Structure 1
Amino acid sequence: MPLATGLLALVLPERTDSPARSRDRRASRPSRLASVGPRSQGAGEASTLRVYLAAVLGGAVSASAWLVPGTGFSAVLGWITALLLVYTVRARRAYMPAFAAGLVGHVIGFYWVAGTVSAFGGFGPLTSALIFALFVALGAILFLVFALVHHQLPAAFDALALRSATAVVMAELLTIRIFPWHFGHTQIAFTPFVQIAGIGGAMAVSFLMFWLAEVSVRIVVFRERRRTFLVPVLLFALAIGYGVAMMRTFTAPQGLPQEVIVVQGNASLAEKRDIDSARKNLARIYELSCQAAHPGSLIVWPEGSVPAYIPAAIGQVGNPPVLPWIGDGSALLVGAYSFLPDHRRYNAAFAVYPDGTIPQPYFKQILIPFGESMPLSSYFPWLKGLNAKAGVFSAGTETRVFSYPMRRPDGTTSTLKVAPMICYEDTVPALAREASRKGAELLINITSDSWFGRTLAPHQHHLIAAFRAIENRRFLIRATNTGLSGVVDPLGRTIASIPPFAEGTATAQVTPLTYRSAYTNWIGDRPWWTLLVVGLVATIHAKGMRRVRLSCA
């Protein structure tokens, strides 16, 4: 990686010994990374500047990876980010540099949040800017926690170079992010490598990236040589071998194909808010569906396509005829709104079976704060007055799997099991995992990404969602109002798509799958919670032993 080597050369310290090896000499020598005052231009200040340079560069490179999402260049930038951040946190005073990296990365990589907050929440420029600043600061805490955990872990983690890998997954596991990204997401174009997400999720990719990055930094920068450094290299080789095996299995998975048609009407945000324009968009989506439909096909509409509240117990399309039905043997999954007899309102997904039967809808479980609900307004009603545009939706409480009775063109019948996710829910691994465990053969996301405007956010959203396909070995179908709509195969590759801000349909042959990956079946996030406990216990034990030694000295 010549580019990575060149960037590291910019921040190489003057020393060549590892902090792990020089631990015994720290008491007798001044820190090279501590500032020695504004008048001094000594080695300490120079080294501190190098650490800050590495940190800011790492944040910028991380952001750049998110500005070219889903590409091979993004994957390369992800590795460079890991190298720079590992170098940064190995400095003795890495907290502020790491936090600075997070600030830079979030300001550049997720610049669109400011505009989305304004459009979705209805806030003015000043309030939106303040919320964006809060988003950036909270997001940067991930980098700060990375540095904090890295420094607190005991020396036992150094033997296998596990300090950085452990710290990064602890940071990803513990920090709250409104846009739940992982460093491993940058590797989606590195298809053989990301298949380990089928074992340990996106954090497995982050873990192995930073494990190899620490080994590389300790070899290149600190001139360390240990046989144990071969362990992550061998595991990386095994990961690639596993990925190749998964590609052979799921490039053309066994099973009867199912035709899926994704419809994108390209209704702008202004049109969605205007009832007459929304109805015209509904008519256009229906027209596109009729043109593309075939007997036995499943047609997927975006979130909120039907601008009406439909009773949850509607039962049939003709009672009253407010949900679409083509009547040619095709089935639909439609985004609309619903309510229960107690007047609770929901953002919903309705299944329309080929015979016009409509089961109970799926209610969105994770609501977007300030847009679909006002946080804490049930306890403090006066908060609703602060944002009159916020919705009053209730949250659903369970994952639903629809069982479509399908008839193929050859006359054979089958039951197609489909689990919907609405909007942001496809970024939450637990929901897709639960749906797969409940028998879903296809995962479907219906969303309205028009809030993002003409930014890279729809592509970033699609990238994160694609990991749900890898983790659960399912085809993922995504229908959005303005794009990016598409179909993702069980390897995370987008096999059909409609570009953003275009009207049209995309048709794909997918295979309903019942295979349960290790991640779906039993692993989940258990390794990372276990690692958290091990790290915590090891740290407490090491600190306790240090106090005992000091008291005995």
Structure 2
Amino acid sequence: MKKKRDIILALLTGLTLGLSYPPLPFSLLAFVGFIPIFLVLENKPKRPFLLIYLSFSLFHLITNWWLSSWQPNADPYLMVSGIAVWLVHPLFFMLPFILYVQIRKTTTFEVAVLLFPFIWTVFEWLRTFSDIAYPWLTIGYTQVYNIYWLQFIDLTGIFGASFLIVLINSLLLVVIKKVRDNKLLPEPLSFFSIKGVNFSALSIVFILIVPYFYGFLKVSEYNYEKIKSNNTIARIGVVQGNINPWRKWEVSTLDQIFLHRDLHDSLIKAVGKLDLVVWPETAITFHSIELNSEYNLNFLLDNLIQNQTSLFSGFADIVFLKPGEKISATSKKYFGDESKYYNSYNSAILLNYNPIKTSNPQIYHKMKLTPFGERVPFVEHLKFALKWLEWGVGISSWSIGTEQKNLIVESSEKSFEIAPIICIESVFPDFVRHFSKLGADVLFIITNDGWYDHTFGPEQHYQIAVARAIENRKFLVRCANTGVSGVIQPNGLSLVRAPQYEKIAFASEVPLMNEITFYAQYGDWLPNICCIVLVGAIIFVFFKFYVKK
């Protein structure tokens, strides 16, 4: 009976946390989602970590089931890798609980559970590092629909939201424990007479309510009409090509350019002159600046000059290695001359129709690559596995970009800097905030979420972008091949949101904002403080255990 109860409680944590994650509308469940698994751990089950694994396997299944694509055209490798992530990912969620269990052995429940928000935040933050970084399921994202409560992340970043969510769970657990230990009498509200309950209850109310006051002020402060009247405006066009991602690598580069150009031209005819038009990730495929692109670039430039509009687009860049330059694990031999090697990059290109201080083209190479999907983790040490782990579409061996930089849009009329964020880079808050520090006036995300059409994936990716807009207090323009494309305001509200799975183009007047938020300036200061607290706690626990021995 006890074993069944523990299994049910473990599954309940996975279920409540899963239901709290977008696009499901039950965000408040996150504030109680951790409670069941802690009740299980207090029961001292024989296999606690197996129950934790079970819990977060269900959480991953509810939120990230779409990683295998499950479409008729899906690559078998993508399907297998999605299943592999499902099996492995819960192990990362186990790590903070392993540390919690060790701390709990040497201290009281209250101390251990109130340390857990620090433990959780540190391990969540650590998931943003290394070749296998995958911070998609950061608990703070459960509140992206709770937009007024979330506004404080311009101070703390998304990890601040995670910290408070887990802290509320911890405080509720303290209340539950004290009530159970004191064998609560049936009189209404009698538990407030128990020592320590008042403080915990008031703390919960404070953490839940105070962010709303800050949030209402900030949502009003960043009202679109107010910002528009006080800032320079850039007229931005967004082109959503809606190309089947499984077929796009079989279509000629020029055909894809024609498709996007036609939507581009139709938009300009409808709305007039635009400062910049954006196309999605890899809208221009296998486009080699150094080898065969001169005609294509000239063709594009002629069109841009005619329309007096600049272009920002995703493309696949090829860069030949210079003599003596290091050949990496992802470098390839050039088929026309095997003595030559090149690196291929998932890239963004900016073409100004009338450059004054800059030159065409400006290129940014993607620096955060999707594990397995775009690059095999630790490929330098696993060269032998590279061919085994290659997509049918052949994009699992991109090279990593080395320079984070903004791109400069300019003409005789105005000049502004854009952050060229490509796909999964948008889920790394510290990485994105560096674009703000470098002087970005507006954030751009180009992506191709078509691999996961008609699943939770594209909507989750869009909602994660909401957090980036709030953290940096900048307008965020999002251009996705099949959607979700849109413009997100600095308060997280959508100014424009285009329908998915349609060939469509739209324009928006986007205010340029060069302010630097506290978070953009100082980054992940909160996880760093959590690290200090955690290290101190571990030292304390170690010496206490040592003295006891």
Give how far 1:215 is off.
1.9
Whether 1:398 aligns to 2:408 is: no
CA offsets per residue over residues 484-523 of structure 1, 9 Å max, x none? 111111122222122221110232222111111111111x
Aligned equivalent of 1:36: none
**Whole-angstrom distance in 1 between the partners of 2:123 and 2:378:** 27
Which residue of structure 2 aligns with residue 336 of structure 1? 315
Deviation at 1:290, TM superposition (A): 1.2
Note if contact 2:478-2:487 (Cα within 8 Å) is conserved in structure 1: yes
> What is the alpha-carbon distance in structure 2 between the residues aligned to residue 142 and residue 318 of structure 1?
45
Q: Tell me which stretches of 4 or more aligned residues in structure 1 moved more than 6 Å.
A: 116-120, 312-318
1:532 corresponds to: 531
Q: Call closer, same or farther: CA 1:64–1:160 in 2, change over 3 Å.
A: closer
**Which amino acid is 1:51 matched to?**
D
Shift of 1:163: 2.9
TM-score (norm 2): 0.81
Inter-CA distance 188–385: structure 2 relative to 1 (3 Å threshold): closer
Q: C-alpha offsets along residues 443-468 of structure 1, whole Å, 9 cap, x if unaligned?
A: 11111111113211111111222211
User: Residue 332 of structure 1 aligns to a residue in which SS?
Assistant: strand
Structure 2 CA distance, aligned partners of 1:179 and 1:63?
Answer: 15
Partner of 2:289: 311
Contact preservation (8 Å) 1:487, 1:497? yes
CA distance in 2, matches of 1:142, 1:378: 23
Cα-to-partner distance string for 1:92-149 (whole Å, 9 max, x where unaligned): 34433222110111123211112379977x435xx844x3343123221243223223
- Contact 1:65–1:74 (CA under 8 A) maintained in structure 2: yes
2-side partners of 1:89 and 1:517: how far apart? 40
2:60 to 102, 106, 121: 106
Q: Secondary structure at the match of 2:247?
A: helix
Map 1:458-473; keep pairs closer than 5 Å.
458-473=458-473
Q: 1:123 aligns with which of 76, 86, 97?
A: 76
- Counterpart CA distance in 2 for 1:520 and 1:312 is 36
Aligned partner letter, 1:527: L
Cα pair 2:430 2:524 within 8 Å, conserved: no
> Of 97, 118, 122, which residue of structure 2 is paired with 1:147?
97
Q: Which residue is equivalent to 2:339?
A: none
* 2:134 aligned counterpart, secondary structure: coil
CA contact (8 A) 1:289 1:299 kept: yes
The residue identity in structure 2 corresponding to 1:395 is I
Q: 1:360 — aligned with what?
A: 362
Aligned in 2, Cα 1:61/1:119: closer, same or farther, shift over 3 Å? farther
Q: 1:25 maps to which residue?
A: none
- Encode CA deviations 1:465-487: one digit per residue, 9 max, x unaligned: 22111111111111111111111
Asked if 2 retains the 8 angstrom alpha-carbon contact of 1:315 and 1:359, the reply is no
| Partner amino acid, structure 2, of 1:123 | P
Residue 312 of structure 2 aligns to a residue whose secondary structure is strand
Closer, same or farther: CA 534–74 of 1 in aligned 2, 3 Å: same
Mapping for residues 207-286 of structure 1, pairs under 5 Å: 207-220=163-176, 222-223=178-179, 225-226=195-196, 227-229=198-200, 230-252=202-224, 253=227, 254-276=230-252, 279-286=254-261
Q: How far apart, CA to CA, are the structure 2 residues paired with 1:425 and 1:313?
A: 28
Aligned partners of 2:207, 2:379: CA distance in 1, in Å? 49
Which residue matches 2:12?
Answer: 57
CA distance in 1, matches of 2:250, 2:242: 14
* Identical aligned residues as a percent: 22
Task: Tell me if the contact between 2:135 and 2:428 (Cα under 8 Å) persists in the aligned partners.
Answer: no
- Structure with greater contact order relative to length (CA < 8 Å, sep ≥ 6): 2
Instruction: Map 1:447-466 onto structure 2 (within 5 A).
Output: 447-466=447-466
Secondary structure at the aligned position of 2:306 is classed as coil
2: CA distance, partners of 1:363 / 1:86 = 44
User: Normalised by the size of structure 1, how large is the TM-score?
Assistant: 0.80
1:545 shift after superposition: 2.5
Contact map agreement 2:116 2:170 (CA 8 A) in 1: yes
In the alignment, structure 2 segments of 5+ residues that lack a partner are 180-193, 322-341
Write the distance in 1 (CA, Å) between the matches of 2:86 and 2:360: 43
Which amino acid counterpart does residue 244 of structure 1 have in structure 2? F
Which SS does the other structure have where 2:163 is aligned? helix
**Cα RMSD over matched residues?**
3.0
Please give the alpha-carbon distance, in whole angstroms, between the structure 1 residues aligned to 2:256 and 2:43. Answer: 56
- Decide whether aligned partners of structure 1 residues 516 and 319 sit closer, same or farther in structure 2, where only a CA change above 3 A counts: closer
Counterpart code for 1:274: E
| 1:70-85 matches, cutoff 5 A | 73-85=25-37
Amino acid at match of 2:16: V
> Against the structure 1 CA distance between its residues 166 and 372, is the aligned structure 2 distance closer, same or farther, given a 3 Å change threshold?
closer
Structure 1 residues 382, 168: CA separation in 2 closer, same or farther (over 3 Å shift)?
closer
Deviates more, 1:479-488 or 1:146-155: 146-155
Superposition deviation, residue 397 in structure 1: 0.6
Residue 386 of structure 1 is aligned with which of 385, 388, 408?
A: 388
2:114 to 151, 158, 162: 162
Partners in 2 of 1:149 and 1:348 — Cα distance? Answer: 40
